[in-house]
Every structure is written in structure tokens, then in C-alpha cells.
Amino acid sequence: MSQYSRDALEKACLVLKRAMLQGRVGIGEAEFRMYQETDVKEVILDVFQPVFRVHVFQEDEVLYVVPSDAQSLIYKSDQVRREAMKLRDQDELHLADFCAMVLGSVFYNSSAHSRPTRAVIGLSEWFHEVDRNIEKWTQEYLTGRKEELEAQELQTEINITGIVEKWHRMRLKEGAETYRASRSEKISFLKKVAQHLQEEGLVQFYDERELAPTEKWSAIMSKHYGMLERKEYITNLLA
């Protein structure tokens, strides 16, 4: 790191701090102009990205920062995100991240395109896609393919078993014995996730019934998840 000037390091810290706090930095902000300086950009991309496990990229006139792992689109601590969605524990946060991943796979269901292939998705369709994937994992577990499921957990670094158990546990709570009551509780959970994604500028959530991706999500999918290994990651997980 000694190859970089103190000025470049200080500016890089300011840029990354602002980007982490806001999730984005616009062209009118001083930090955006700082990022255009070659030395500052090199510090962020070559030094700070691997240290802080983030991916920083520019799309048009906006600078974005997202986690370098493939589970979340939002760079905030788990505790902050749990509190924002009023989630009870870490397993619910993992389920929320998985639901967001499923939503992204429906918006961008073609690896050949960097732009969304769907403009709007209904809340009900999102629910069925989440349920379908979790039921697939459930059947794999019940049919004796537990080792394959565990191998997939290691490969993807996702607690698949915890996600499945948390989703199914919504059926077992008092007053949720029927399918309709269970579905209603799960829809309420998805609404929490949708509202959080909207607050983070990733979707528009219309009348609590339909969702549409924003330019911010499109940029993230194009420049972050658009990389080949991330497309394969999502494809394998949601096959």
C-alpha cells in the first residue's frame, strides 16, 4: 500500500465511506469526482475491495458498492438489515436474502442478457417461485439426497437447511394450520423483503402487489452478478 500517496489513500477512504453509507455516489458529489482520479481508483479497486469484501463499480454517472459475496445486494451489517426488516434471527435474514435472489432470477431469467427480461412481477408469482425452489430442496432431502444438499451448501456458502426449515416453520405456528393461513404469513414475509428492497432503491413495490427492478438493480445485475461465475452461481442454486 506504500506505493500510494497519502492524498490518494485519504480520498479513497472518503469515497468508499460515502458509497458504503449510501450504496451509491452520484456524479454531482465530490466523492464521485475523487473516484475518477487514477490513483484513488487504484486504491479502491486493488486494495480496499478485497480487504472490505466489496465490489465497487461505475455505471453511467453513478458509483455503486455491493458485497463481494453473492448472497446479498446490500452492503449493511446483518444486524442493521435484520432491524430494518424486523426479523427475529439470522435464519430469517438468510431466508430474506434467498427470496431476493429468487426475485432477481425471475427479473433476469436469461444469462444472455444484462438487462431485465421481465419489467414487472406479481407478488404471487414471486411467492410461487420461492416456494417451488424450497420444495425442490425439501424433496431432495426427503428422498435421501441429503449429501448432495450438504455439498451444495458448501459450494454456495448458503444455509439451505436453515432456509427450508424457516420457510416451513411458518406453517406450524398457532393459527397457521391451513394452507391459506400459511401462504398469508409467507406473503407477509415477502412484503417485508420487498419494502426493504424498495427502501434501498432496488425495486419499485406497487400497491404491495407488483414489483419492478430499478436502474440501480439493473446496474448491479449487469456489472456484479453479470460476471460469468455469478451467473453460474445463481443458475446452479436455482436450477
Residues 116 and 49 in one domain: no
**pLDDT for the residue 1:** 47
Residue of higher predicted confidence among 120 and 233: 120
Average pLDDT over residues 79-95: 90
Residues 33 and 108 in one domain: no
Question: How far apart, in whole angstroms, are the C-alpha atoms of residue 11 and residue 29?
Answer: 13
In a domain, 73, yes or no: no
Residues 146 and 194 in one domain: yes
Residue of higher predicted confidence among 48 and 108: 48
Total domain count, the chain: 2
CB 92 within 8 A of CB 166: yes
| Containing structural domain, residue 32 | 6-67
In a domain, 57, yes or no: yes
* pLDDT greater than 70 at residue 23: yes
* pLDDT greater than 50 at residue 228: no
Q: Kindly indicate the confidence band of residue 76, based on its pLDDT and cuts at 50, 70 and 90.
A: confident
Residue of higher predicted confidence among 23 and 177: 23
* pLDDT greater than 70 at residue 61: yes
In a domain, 72, yes or no: no
Single pTM value for the model:
0.76
Residues 61 and 82 in one domain: no
Residues 159 and 190 in one domain: yes
- Dihedral of CA atoms 196, 160, 128, 172 in degrees, nearest 10, equals -90
Q: Kindly indicate the confidence band of residue 190, based on its pLDDT and cuts at 50, 70 and 90.
A: very high
**pLDDT for the residue 237:** 58
**pLDDT for the residue 114:** 60
Contacting residues for 217 by C-beta, under 8 A, at least 6 apart: 73, 104, 107, 202, 203
Residues 24 and 131 in one domain: no
Chain CA centroid to CA 235, Å = 15
Report CA Rg, the chain. Answer: 19
Residues 38 and 153 in one domain: no
Residues 180 and 201 in one domain: yes
**pLDDT for the residue 239:** 56
In a domain, 87, yes or no: yes
Residues 59 and 170 in one domain: no
Q: Kindly indicate the confidence band of residue 47, based on its pLDDT and cuts at 50, 70 and 90.
A: very high
Residues 214 and 139 in one domain: yes
